[in-house]
Amino acid sequence: MKRIIFLILSLVLLGATIYFLNPITDYLAKEISKNPGLVMMPSNAYTKDTDYLLVQRSKDFVPYSYQDLLNIIYSTINNGWDNFTFYCPEEYQRCIKDMETISDDDLIYTHLNNYVHPFNSFTKINTTISESGEITLDVEYLYDEKQIEVIDKKVDEVIKEIITPDMEDYDKIKTIHDYIVNNSKYDIERNENDASNYSSYTAYGPLMEGYATCSGYTDLMAIFLTKLGFDNYKIATTPNLISYSSTGHVWNAVYFNNEWLHIDLTWDDPVSNDGKDYLFHTYFLVNTEAMHKADKGETVIEEHNFEAKYYLEFK
């Protein structure tokens, strides 16, 4: 009789446990997620200590708005973190939906990427969003440690060779601009076939191999500008603002003489029909008005059409 009673009680207890298991685990998960512990690694040597009008460094990594989400993404890649997990608070009811909107828009990620040091720029971000509001960013970076070491060392050597302490800031930037143009050529093969024997799409191409595409020119110039102490970032063409099929374009923005100006080494190192090398300064330290005015020559250039809402310093 005792065995029967024990068996019945065991079955009742088991049934109750199964019945209440999901509500209990859901409750616990909810309670834990209210105060999750953020695991943050130290930032790397190429982290910018700069805030911009579009994005700012996140302080607590707890989002309460769409802008906070942008700041967290920017801060993650700016810090050089391979992986970072943060959580949506209950107060921010649109958090998951807003994060899904951002992660589905490659254009936003591209523009955010332009604000970090080239060595912290990514090729891809894998975003995982759970129903509970846990968001994980897995970042795949463009440059590996070996490439960074080689580029960094060479840049230091070049600066030591061609930059002197008595130079004015204008001359420093112009000297670097001219050095890059004079020591590299536009990689036509990669532009036409999307393939090349050179790493022209990174700073390694123009610096070590003598070949570049717009992204290679721009990354290398950004690295030099940062080394010399000039605040800078990259600007990318906005595809919907050009009337022809294009793979896009990117160039430099630099803060000089208390204003933000453009530098485009790609168009200052044109591909010539006569095979000669040319060095122009048409797109060197120009404001937006002067840049667009230069675009209206015999051949109208649309590659500098960008949305100022992503680059508010030029609005």
Residues 207-240 have pLDDT tens digits of: 999 999 999 999 999 999 999 999 999 999 987 7
Whether 289 is in a domain gets the answer yes
The verdict on 114 and 129 lying in the same domain is yes
Q: What is the CATH number of the domain that holds 103?
A: 3.30.1710
Q: Do the beta carbons of residue 221 and residue 180 sit within 8 Å?
A: yes
The verdict on 112 and 150 lying in the same domain is no
More confident residue, 26 or 173: 173
CA–CA distance, 65 with 91 (Å, rounded to integer): 10
Q: Do the beta carbons of residue 227 and residue 251 sit within 8 Å?
A: no
2 band by pLDDT with thresholds 50, 70 and 90: very low
By three-state DSSP, how is residue 1 classified? coil
pLDDT at position 274 is: 54
pLDDT at 152 over 60: yes
The verdict on 231 and 209 lying in the same domain is yes
Q: Do the beta carbons of residue 57 and residue 71 sit within 8 Å?
A: yes
Task: Using alpha carbons, list the distances in angstroms from residue 1 to 9, 10, 12, 13.
Answer: 12, 14, 17, 18
CA–CA distance, 202 with 217 (Å, rounded to integer): 8
pLDDT at position 14 is: 47
The verdict on 159 and 227 lying in the same domain is yes
The verdict on 127 and 190 lying in the same domain is no
By three-state DSSP, how is residue 111 classified? helix
Query: Structural domain tally of the chain?
Result: 2
The verdict on 93 and 192 lying in the same domain is no
The verdict on 207 and 300 lying in the same domain is yes
The verdict on 215 and 299 lying in the same domain is yes
Alpha helices by DSSP H, listed for 163-287, are 169-182, 188-193, 204, 214-227, 265-268
CB atoms within 10 A of CB 4: 8
Whether 272 is in a domain gets the answer yes
pLDDT at 177 over 70: yes
Q: What is the CATH number of the domain that holds 186?
A: 3.10.620
The verdict on 137 and 149 lying in the same domain is no
The verdict on 236 and 295 lying in the same domain is yes
Closest CA to 185 of 163, 209, 165, 168: 209
4-13, 65-74, 131-140, 165-174: least confidently modelled range = 4-13
pLDDT at position 232 is: 98
15-24, 57-66, 201-210, 233-242: least confidently modelled range = 15-24
**Domain final residue pick, 81, 113, 141:** 141
Whether 34 is in a domain gets the answer no
Whether 40 is in a domain gets the answer no
**Domain final residue pick, 113, 141, 169:** 141
| pTM, two decimal places | 0.87
The verdict on 252 and 171 lying in the same domain is yes
Whether 189 is in a domain gets the answer yes
10-24, 65-79, 213-227, 258-272: least confidently modelled range = 10-24
Whether 294 is in a domain gets the answer yes
pLDDT at position 22 is: 46
The verdict on 134 and 178 lying in the same domain is no
Whether 15 is in a domain gets the answer no
Q: What is the strand order of the sheet 134-141 is part of?
A: 83-87, 134-141, 122-129
**Domain final residue pick, 141, 175, 193:** 141
- Domain range enclosing 251: 145-314
Whether 14 is in a domain gets the answer no
28 band by pLDDT with thresholds 50, 70 and 90: very low
Rg over alpha carbons for the chain, rounded to the nearest Å, is 26
